[in-house]
Amino acid sequence: MKNHNIENVVKDIQVQSSKNNNPVTVKGDSDLLKCVGVGTDAAVFHIEGDTQYVYKVFSADKLETMEREKQVYERLGESPYFPIYYGKGSNFLILSYEKGITLYDCLLKGIHIPRQVIADVEEARAYAISKGLNPRDIHLKNILLHEGRGKLLDVSEYLKEGNDHRWTYLKKGYEEHYDLIDGKEVPLWLIETVRKWYNQKQDSPFDFQEFVQKLIRLFRIKDTKGE
């Protein structure tokens, strides 16, 4: 669908940012667009039956983020590790449709996450660095699993400086503790507890092992109670 046509479709959708870094809310309705994902800056839509494009629609106060993300995709070019950028509209980016399931949903559904995914993320990070970018904000919802391979989504923070250590801890957690939950359906409350605890620790000293042991104790208590 050409840009000027999709503009007419997207205008019926309103994406609004939320406080405290929570996901955006989507208002409005469209007979064509189906929401397939939400983040803190934008929501992603696709047209039923269209396996080529998705439309990442940003809230009105996040258009600078959209522009940064566009610049990152232009630097990345075509790569097996990232979606392909095709163009933009007034408040949306046109990206390639990517099949798969996020690692977030893999944990919820007890789907095995192969070690190859970790290797693919490492390769993706190295590729982004070779393009002068700083790959960060790599978390469970930004990693896609498809046919045993990994791909990174959401590159909006790759122009920022500094290391948020999200991938460092995620990789360490996989290597040292994934065997404890592999094949098990991890409760939503536990995943959300991890996210909230980690966000609260961002501006204070972080002891990874203490953090993990606290989670294991919490999980065992709830598991014993059958919750």
- Tens digits of per-residue pLDDT, 16-47? 998 877 889 999 888 899 999 998 999 999 99
Q: Is 207 a catalytic residue?
A: no
Q: Which of 31, 41, 120, 137 is catalytic?
A: 137
Residue 174 tokens, joined:
């996989």
Do residue 124 and residue 180 come from a single domain? Answer: yes
Which one of 96, 114, 140 terminates a domain? Answer: 96
At which of 40, 69, 96 does a domain end? 96
Which amino acid belongs to residue 39?
G
pLDDT, position 51:
86
Per-residue pLDDT, averaged over 148-166, amounts to 94
Cβ atoms of residues 136 and 163 within 8 Å: yes
In which domain, by residue range, is 146 found?
101-224
H helix intervals, the chain: 3-10, 63-76, 103-109, 115-130, 166-177, 188-201, 208-224
Please state the pTM of the whole predicted model: 0.85
The number of folded domains in the chain is: 2
